[in-house]
């Protein structure tokens, strides 16, 4: 059975290997021992906190194959971004140049550096290993976070974002960053990406152009990738769009990948999630695939399986194996939502 659970210290070797496999452009999984161990420790401490509102908490999860203990993927949630370090984006807007006397009216796209997403929650660090990209593994890894947010709503802001990986080649070169590097920086994209991942963001404030950038002045290659995602990120973007996420013109400052956002109450898997009481048995006919989680933050578990649930249901029948994997028994509450 595939189960989502909070990361533990002994998952470090698997997390490091996934950081290596994730490649360039995956800022939240840098290949850095100290930072990865700090992420694990921070997640463990965040789960132990008693909080009444979002703060400097981060929750890191892994996808485990319980049949052999293999860690197959990871995903994470940030409760509130930008509270300690500035959280930068470019916003794609427009200015109008017009002159009635000359009969000129021209709309021009501009990129403006901003910190507009300070304080919002963030979906991040989603990575599923190549040999496990099958069945509902990707959906479980991504959407289990929505069940966690629904169950522990006080820990998160009312708006959530996800930064989507932008366009870069197999060597980690970004057309957008190449233009910035030529005119403002002296470091390549992999280096800038790595520095950001390990928390060294001072160079952004020091070197990033402070005034709006006219998109028409960028190279053609750079212009063409603004708001576009990496080929490997398309399935993740499509999944979030199906949940109600949309782009409002914000893009990453390094690779110009889009940032998508949604109000928490509008996210489909949260909005239609329900809490039901557990019965142990065999699900009935006409089962449909559901995501399901327990309600224990310290021992959080989530999985998916076919279940028979109607709008009138107050209980859900779980096989014993599933109940054991979730750490629940008859009479306990679980939260579930349709896949």
Instruction: Indicate if 230 belongs to the active site.
Output: yes
Q: How do strand 89-99 and strand 333-338 relate by DSSP bridges?
A: unpaired
Helix (H) or strand (E) holding 176: helix 175-183
Catalytic residue among 89, 97, 173, 230: 230
CB 6 within 8 A of CB 43: yes
Burial string for 147-186 (b: 16+ CB within 10 Å, else e) reads: bbbbbbeebbbebbbbbbbbbbeeebbbbbbbbbbeeebe
Distance from first CA to last CA of the chain, Å, rounded? 17
Q: How many CB atoms lie within 10 A of CB 111?
A: 22
Q: How do strand 159-163 and strand 258-263 relate by DSSP bridges?
A: antiparallel
As annotated, the active-site residues are: 230
């Amino acid at each position: 059975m595939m189960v989502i659970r909070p990361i533990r210290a002994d998952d470090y070797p698997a997390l490091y290997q996934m950081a290596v496999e994730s490649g360039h452009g995956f800022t939240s999984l840098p290949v850095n021992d100290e930072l990865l161990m700090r992420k694990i420790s921070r997640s463990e401490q965040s789960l132990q906190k008693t909080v009444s509102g979002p703060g400097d908490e981060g929750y890191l999860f892994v996808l485990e194959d319980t049949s052999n203990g293999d860690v197959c993927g990871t995903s994470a949630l940030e409760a509130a971004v930008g509270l300690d370090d500035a959280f930068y984006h470019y916003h794609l807007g427009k200015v109008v140049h017009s002159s009635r006397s000359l009969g000129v009216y021209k709309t021009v796209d501009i990129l403006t550096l901003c910190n507009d997403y300070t304080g919002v929650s963030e979906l991040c660090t989603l990575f599923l290993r190549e040999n496990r990209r099958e069945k509902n593994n990707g959906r479980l890894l991504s959407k289990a976070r929505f069940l966690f947010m629904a169950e522990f709503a006080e820990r998160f802001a009312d708006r959530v974002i996800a930064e989507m990986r932008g366009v870069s080649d197999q060597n980690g070169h970004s057309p957008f960053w190449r233009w910035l590097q030529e005119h403002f920086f002296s470091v390549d994209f992999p280096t800038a990406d790595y520095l950001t991942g390990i928390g060294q963001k001072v160079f952004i404030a020091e070197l990033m152009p402070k005034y709006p950038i006219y998109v028409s002045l960028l190279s053609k290659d750079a212009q063409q990738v603004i708001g576009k995602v990496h080929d490997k990120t398309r399935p993740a973007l499509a999944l979030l769009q199906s949940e109600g996420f949309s782009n409002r013109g914000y893009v990453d400052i390094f690779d110009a990948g889009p940032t998508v956002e949604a109000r928490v109450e509008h996210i489909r898997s949260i909005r239609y999630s329900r809490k039901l009481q557990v019965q142990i048995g065999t699900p009935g006919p006409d089962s449909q695939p559901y995501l399901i989680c327990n309600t224990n933050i310290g021992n959080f578990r989530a999985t998916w399986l076919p279940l028979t649930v109607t709008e009138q249901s107050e209980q859900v029948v779980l096989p014993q194996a599933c109940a054991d994997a979730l750490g629940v028994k008859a009479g306990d509450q679980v939260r579930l939502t349709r896949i």
